[in-house]
Amino acid sequence: MELSGILMLLGGLALFLYGMQMMSGGLEAAAGNRMKEILEKLTSNRVKGVLVGAAITAVIQSSSATTVMVVGFVNSGLMSLTQAIWIIMGANIGTTITGQLIALDISAIAPFIAFAGVVLVVFTKREKLHHIGDIVAGLGMLFIGMDMMGGAMEPLQEVESFRQVMTQFTNPFFGILAGAAFTAVIQSSSASIGILQALAGSGMIGLSGAVYVLFGQNIGTCITAVLASIGTRVNARRTTLIHLMFNLFGTIVFTILCMTTSFVPWMERLSPGNPVAQIANVHTVFNVVTTLLLLPVGTGLGKIAVKLLPEKEEKTECRRLLYLMPIDYRKGHLVGQLSVSVSGLNREIGRMHQLVLQNVEASFDAVLKGDNSLLEQIQEREEYIDYLNAEISEYIGKMMVMEMSEKDSGIVGAYFSIIGNLERIGDHAMNVAGYADDLQKRGLELSAFAKTEVLKMKEISLKAVENIREKEGMLCSKVLAQAARLEQKIDDMNEEFRENQVNRMKEGQCRPQAGILFSEMLTDFERIGDHTLNIANQYQRM
């Protein structure tokens, strides 16, 4: 093969892969966080789950992307393992649309499709049209790349050594291994199947060898989800295992079918003289039949996954993120990353909020009881709050490089502000706990009147912090109005309590040192109210 042919082959592959990435990027920016809304509406109905999984994957043309999304939702607790099974089955059906599109051979109009997309990208200012342009241009590039690869591979028919390598794929073991390895490297079954179709279209490989490579490609596509599940919770890893079991089962069944029946000649007769369409049809039959075979016993796959990956008792002292997927956001091409990330952020911030709420309550209790034995637990929680703030902040920083709509960018920015304010509330709670320690060490005690006021501070602080907890069906305007009322109430109480404290000191009912600590406590009390109002304001951006 001459240098020009090699360069054309590499150029075609580059356009093919970049076209897929452009489509995914455009779809991600257009769909954004709405992907979560689609999947959250799923029920335990297996047929509906399969149909939704197939539809989503047909649109985004990547079963890997759908599976990674599902792993993320299972990891964040928004989807059950059973629901994930049906989505994965549907995703394997939906991914066959790419091969069928390639089989239509629309390469003649591919340049026009690409041009139409570029026009939308370059000459339109509307954000939505810009994203649609990315999708259309990506589709055109995909077919141009496919045509270039096919043209570059034609001279290989004359190379004896290459023909000998291709004949080795009629061996099921070598064919499956080659397909799985290549797909695992490029992490896209759609791309690897497209390349296989290009080889078949150039006469380099017949269907008798291509089927085994195709089966291996279905196994290799699981690698993306496997990598995404590293470091996740056990249910997310089970989801990946189910995806792998599905494709292994299908490969075993169809390999036996090819070796013992006339399956390959029958598929050839469906599209005589068109090896590209033959491969697309086998891919579709493989996934549809495997889904039909496993659909009645799908819950059994879940039980097997649970037995293979049993729940392990987690160490509570281990600080880690539970709901955020360890995905490299610099890639920025997996559709659904944003939706998965926002869901995970919601859950992680919920954990952080609960720790802050516990510390606010415990810190005022320490003052009221005159007991600093609570300080150790408060300190441990404060360190965990600081840890979560640092880790979530770093995670959000990685998200910022993703292409997203203005609305979704506002949501991510709002979360960043929220965790900063939560961390500051935690700091003020820690300060209040410190006053309990100071009072005991100095042998001081607050008066009965002062303790009554501390109790009131505790009650309204807990109301203010609880009010900003994000929950399902939350009406942001109502939260903001309530936060504003509570913050004003805190300001009024702060002013009243300061005046009361001055009067007690004048009347000799309070020692000056205790009065100073009480005054500092009022400052932290007021700051807690300010930060809760800041958080409530951020919900208006979401």
DSSP states of 227-272: HHTTTS-HHHHHHHHHHHHHHHHHHHHHHHHHHHSSHHHHHHHHST
Do 259 and 252 contact (CB within 8 A), yes or no?
A: no
**What's the full length of the chain, in residues?**
542
pLDDT of residue 254: 95
Do 68 and 340 contact (CB within 8 A), yes or no?
A: yes
Chain segment 255-286, per-residue pLDDT in tens: 999 999 999 999 999 888 888 899 999 999 99
Neighbours of 445 (CB within 10 A): 14
Distance CA 80, CA 241 (A): 15
What are the structure tokens assigned to 533, written together?
Answer: 């109002």
DSSP 8-state assignment for residue 296: G
Q: Which amino acid is at 451?
A: K
**Per-domain boundaries in the chain:** 3-307, 337-541
pLDDT at 511 > cutoff 70: yes
Neighbours of 374 (CB within 10 A): 19
Do 73 and 39 contact (CB within 8 A), yes or no?
A: yes
Neighbours of 56 (CB within 10 A): 26
Residue 439 neighbours by CB under 8 Å, 6+ apart: 367, 370, 445, 446, 514, 517
97 alpha-carbon distance from chain centroid: 24
Neighbours of 325 (CB within 10 A): 25
Q: Which amino acid is at 505?
A: M
Q: Which amino acid is at 131?
A: H
Distance CA 57, CA 98 (A): 10
pLDDT at 379 > cutoff 80: yes
Q: Is 274 helix (H, G, I), strand (E, B) or coil?
A: coil
What number of H helices and E strands is found in the chain?
23, 0
Q: Across residues 242-263, what is the average pLDDT? A: 93
Distance CA 27, CA 9 (A): 27
What are the structure tokens assigned to 528, written together?
Answer: 């807690």
Angle, helices 81-94 vs 298-308, to 10°: value is 120
Tokens 């896209």, located at residue: 188
> Looking at domain 337-541, which CATH architecture does it have?
Up-down Bundle (1.20)
What are the structure tokens assigned to 53, written together?
Answer: 């999984």
Do 121 and 134 contact (CB within 8 A), yes or no?
A: yes
pLDDT at 384 > cutoff 90: yes
Chain segment 403-415, per-residue pLDDT in tens: 677 788 888 899 9
More confident residue, 373 or 522: 522
Residue 61 neighbours by CB under 8 Å, 6+ apart: 20, 23, 24, 95, 97, 98, 190
Q: Across residues 222-247, what is the average pLDDT? A: 86
Tokens 């509906």, located at residue: 48
CA angle 87, 90, 92 (to 5 degrees): 115
Chain segment 43-70, per-residue pLDDT in tens: 557 888 888 888 877 776 677 777 877 8
Q: What is the pTM of this model?
A: 0.71
